């Protein structure tokens, strides 16, 4: 059974391979997405390490001159996706979007390196300066407040999660005009963000496009700026992983360690006492989102977690049957099949488990792995799942779900498959 699922997962990766980059799923997402690609590479590393490195190398071919690595690279225009390169006008070659996405590459590159250190050393050495430039971009353009922020919900990768509700309320989407969404032609509209969300997403894109993606202007006057615990935890962990890579390569990593330390110092800004957890916060108004979601669960990436916080997180997890949900089922906004407003996303669960393992929480990590494996065994490799009954949601044959089956969910506690 596991061997069959392994073969199916590998077939999804190779089937979604478009030659040097992998699409998340056919139809719904026809381009190269930033953090999807990092997970694809991790998946490829279980059976084709060279192809894993190629995935990352292709992504970095789209790096902007200021170091930013875009969230979508439009390698080959596909009218089945909206908004495309004409809307973004990223102004680069290859065409790309104008925002980034959570920088998980350094963390997953370490895993890929571990799969075959001899094959990986020259590949990571070539990527290293590009990774440093990207991490410096995050430090300079998204972390000036002390914590990592996002200028668009799409930059967080957790598009319509309730974390962004306070910031979204202040975005004026009334000028969006008429447009045709393509996502709802591929997937049931009840599983996707709503029209009022899309109107605002497009208003934020228009602001960036109209100022030529001037980062200082976007931070100062853009329609949306929220501190993101998930981005902060991912970035701290990624800075530490990049520093570890740099040390192996004989580089001076003091600057990178300084970026990580500065973010650790800023953590009190996103501590929500009322919630008893780290929480997203609108940097324009100071308002907390007051919602416990998957972002807060990534806290294990930092290191040992306070027992009271752990108990709070596990209590939320206990409310569902399959994996850690993207939002608290006890919240009024919980919607178990609507994208990031409740569903369980295996790739994010894999990242949470990585933190748990590193901090010695092996029983929790094993519970999480088993719940994810159960839903994949029952329903295959979907984009996300209803955490209550396991119903597969979103796009089918999904790259990062297949990838984390191969690297994590489909492997037993001893590491075998």
Specify the residue, 71 or 338, whose C-beta has the smaller distance to ligand DGY: 71
Contact between 381 and 398 (Cβ < 8 Å): yes
Min separation Cβ 72 and ligand DGY, Å: 6
Scanning the structure block, which residue is given the tokens 């080959």? 76
How many Å apart are CA 86 and CA 101, to the nearest integer?
Answer: 20
Dig out the tokens for 261 from the structure.
């330390």
Min separation Cβ 328 and ligand DGY, Å: 22
The catalytically annotated residue of 197, 228, 383, 386 is 383
Specify the residue, 197 or 282, whose C-beta has the smaller distance to ligand DGY: 197
Min separation Cβ 236 and ligand DGY, Å: 23
Among 21, 31, 39, 154, the residue binding ligand DGY under the rule CB under 6 A is 154
Work out whether 345 is an interface residue with ligand DGY (CB under 6 A).
Answer: no
Contact positions with ligand DGY (CB under 6 A) in 64-83: 71
How many Å apart are CA 253 and CA 311, to the nearest integer?
Answer: 35
In the residue annotation, 383 being an active-site residue is answered as yes
Which residues, 6+ apart, have CB-to-CB distance to 355 below 8 Å? 233, 237, 298, 299, 300, 301, 302
Contact positions with ligand DGY (CB under 6 A) in 166-185: 183
Min separation Cβ 26 and ligand DGY, Å: 14
Min separation Cβ 182 and ligand DGY, Å: 9
334 φ/ψ sector (left φ>0, alpha ψ -120 to 50, else beta):
beta
Work out whether 159 is an interface residue with ligand DGY (CB under 6 A).
Answer: yes
Min separation Cβ 159 and ligand DGY, Å: 5
Which residues, 6+ apart, have CB-to-CB distance to 230 below 8 Å? 102, 156, 158, 294, 295, 298
Rounded to the nearest angstrom, the gap between the alpha carbon of residue 17 and the centroid of all alpha carbons in its chain is 20
Handedness of CA 46, 47, 53, 58 (dihedral sign): negative
Work out whether 228 is an interface residue with ligand DGY (CB under 6 A).
Answer: no
Dig out the tokens for 248 from the structure.
């192996």
Contact positions with ligand DGY (CB under 6 A) in 380-409: none
**In a 3-state reduction of DSSP, which class is residue 277?**
strand
Scanning the structure block, which residue is given the tokens 């209803």? 386
The catalytically annotated residue of 17, 159, 163, 282 is 159
Interaction mask 180-209, ligand DGY, x per CB under 6 A:
---x--------------------------
Specify the residue, 24 or 166, whose C-beta has the smaller distance to ligand DGY: 24
Q: Which residues pair with 288 in a beta bridge?
A: 281
What is 119-160 written as a DSSP string?
A: HHHHHHHHHHHHHHHHHHHHHHHH-TTSS-EESSHHHHT-TT
Number of shown-chain residues binding ligand DGY (CB under 6 A): 4
Comparing every residue's Cβ against ligand DGY, the nearest one is 154
Q: Which residues bind ligand DGY (CB under 6 A)?
A: 71, 154, 159, 183
Catalytic center residues: 159, 383
């Amino acid at each position: 059974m596991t061997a069959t699922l392994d073969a199916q997962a590998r077939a999804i990766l190779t089937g979604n391979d478009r030659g040097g980059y992998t699409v998340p799923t056919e139809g719904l997402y026809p381009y190269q997405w930033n953090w999807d690609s990092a997970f694809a590479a991790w998946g490829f590393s279980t059976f084709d390490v060279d192809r894993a490195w190629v995935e990352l190398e292709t992504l970095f071919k789209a790096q902007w001159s200021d170091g930013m690595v875009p969230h979508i690279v439009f390698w080959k225009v596909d009218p089945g996706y909206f908004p495309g390169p004409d809307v973004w006008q990223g102004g680069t070659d290859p065409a790309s979007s104008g925002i980034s996405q959570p920088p998980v590459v350094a963390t997953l590159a370490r895993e890929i390196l571990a799969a075959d250190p001899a094959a990986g050393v020259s590949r990571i050495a070539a990527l290293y300066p590009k990774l440093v430039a990207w991490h410096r971009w995050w430090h300079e353009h998204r972390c000036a407040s002390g914590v990592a922020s996002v200028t668009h919900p799409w930059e967080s990768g957790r598009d319509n999660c309730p974390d962004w509700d306070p910031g979204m309320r202040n975005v004026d989407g009334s000028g969006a005009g008429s447009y045709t969404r393509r996502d709802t032609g591929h997937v049931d509209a009840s599983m996707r963000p709503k029209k009022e969300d899309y109107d605002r997403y497009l208003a934020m894109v228009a602001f960036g496009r109209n100022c030529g993606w001037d980062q200082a202007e976007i931070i100062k006057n853009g329609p949306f700026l929220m501190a993101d615990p998930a981005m902060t935890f991912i970035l701290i962990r990624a800075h530490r992983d990049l520093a570890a890579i740099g040390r192996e390569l004989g580089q001076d990593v003091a600057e990178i360690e300084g970026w990580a330390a500065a973010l650790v110092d800023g953590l009190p800004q996103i501590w929500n006492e009322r919630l008893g957890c780290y929480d997203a916060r609108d940097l324009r108004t100071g308002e907390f989102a007051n919602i416990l979601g998957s972002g807060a669960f990534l806290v294990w990436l930092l290191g040992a977690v306070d027992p009271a916080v752990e108990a709070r997180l596990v209590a939320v997890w206990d409310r569902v049957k399959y994996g850690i949900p993207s939002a608290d089922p006890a919240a009024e906004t919980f919607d178990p099949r609507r994208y990031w407003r409740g569903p369980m996303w295996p790739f994010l669960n894999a990242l949470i488990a990585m933190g748990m393992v590193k901090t010695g929480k092996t029983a929790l990590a094993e519970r999480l792995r088993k719940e994810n494996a159960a839903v994949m065994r029952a329903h295959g490799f979907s984009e996300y799942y209803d955490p209550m009954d396991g119903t597969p949601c979103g796009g089918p044959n999904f790259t990062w779900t297949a990838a984390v089956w191969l690297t994590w969910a489909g492997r037993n506690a001893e590491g075998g498959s």
